[in-house]
């Protein structure tokens, strides 16, 4: 994983001349970035050691998250600078609202979670913070701000998805398919594009805007850890107000 770094992108490049802007974002988000990508919840998905209650808790909460993620993508499609970017983002939005939505509905059914439960689920404090961050960054902030949030969420899932895909699939289809959704070639290509898009735009931002993007990526990493932690332990995780 990346080595923690506290300086500017310019300073990072001086130390690592080949580095990408997105390498800097990950380094600035350490240790939270690596903690998110390696959380015990993610390894339990691939090991087949996931407790049913923990996964049910996770899916109910995550369904509210991806509903707001779909709205975030709507903002990003609107703000994307040209047709190639709009096309990539709307393709992912289409996947989220069709194939991935279908995955959730089949998984709820298999886990005995009634529609009244997942449709009426109130977001817990961590998901509310996530949603505020995603929706305010993509809705009120710049394209790059929203992109940084989306990149963190999807790159984190690709990282653990590719790792868990090395193991034999667990028997439960809802675990096996969740790995596949985050390791298939199409998802790798999309996250690869998100990185390239950020690498293309980030270096030309003024230093204070680069700092803002790095702070957003870091906040998202902290929230990804807290989100897994809540699902895993069933305990409410306190997030510092200043986050």
DSSP string, 147-181: HHHHHHHHHHHHHHHHHHTTSPPPSSHHHHHHHHH
Nearest residue (beta carbon) to ligand NSP: 153
Q: How far is the CB of 10 from ligand NSP (least distance, A)?
A: 30
* Nearer CB in complex with ligand NSP: 65/75: 65
CB of 208 to ligand NSP, least distance (A): 27
Cβ closest to ligand NSP, residue 138 vs residue 153 = 153
Q: Would you say 12 and 24 are in contact if contact means Cβ atoms under 8 Å apart?
A: yes
Query: In this complex, which beta carbon is closest to ligand NSP, that of residue 154 or of residue 197?
Result: 154
Task: By CB under 6 A, name the binding residues for ligand NSP.
Answer: 62, 65-66, 153-154, 157, 224, 227
Would you say 27 or 126 has its CB closer to ligand NSP?
126
| Contact (Cβ atoms closer than 8 angstroms) between residue 216 and residue 227 | no
Contact predicate 141/220, CB 8 Å: no
Q: List Cβ neighbours of 122 (8 Å cut-off, separation of 6 or more).
A: none
Least CB distance from residue 100 to ligand NSP, whole Å?
A: 8
Give min distance, CB of 179 to ligand NSP, in A.
Answer: 12
DSSP 8-class letter at 184: S
């Amino acid at each position: 994983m990346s080595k923690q770094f506290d300086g500017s992108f310019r300073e990072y490049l001086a130390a690592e001349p080949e580095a990408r802007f997105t390498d800097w974002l990950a380094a600035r988000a350490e240790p939270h970035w690596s903690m998110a990508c390696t959380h015990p919840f993610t390894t339990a998905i691939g090991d087949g050691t996931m407790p049913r209650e923990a996964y049910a808790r996770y899916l109910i909460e995550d369904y509210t998250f991806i509903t707001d993620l779909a709205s975030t993508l709507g903002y990003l499609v609107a703000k994307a600078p040209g047709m190639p970017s709009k096309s990539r983002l709307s393709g992912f939005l289409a996947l989220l609202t069709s194939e991935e939505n279908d995955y959730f509905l089949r998984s709820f059914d298999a886990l005995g979670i009634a529609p009244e439960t997942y449709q009426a689920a109130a977001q817990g404090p961590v998901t509310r913070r996530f949603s505020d961050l995603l929706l305010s960054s993509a809705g009120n902030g710049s394209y790059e701000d929203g992109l940084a949030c989306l990149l963190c969420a999807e790159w984190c899932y690709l990282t653990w998805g590719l790792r868990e895909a090395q193991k034999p699939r667990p028997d439960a289809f809802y675990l096996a398919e969740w790995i596949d959704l985050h390791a298939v070639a199409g998802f790798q290509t999309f996250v690869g594009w998100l990185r390239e898009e950020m690498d293309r735009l980030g270096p030309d931002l003024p230093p204070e805007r680069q700092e803002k993007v790095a702070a957003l990526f870091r906040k998202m990493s902290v929230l990804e850890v807290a989100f897994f932690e809540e699902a895993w332990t069933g305990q409410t995780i306190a997030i510092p107000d200043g986050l």
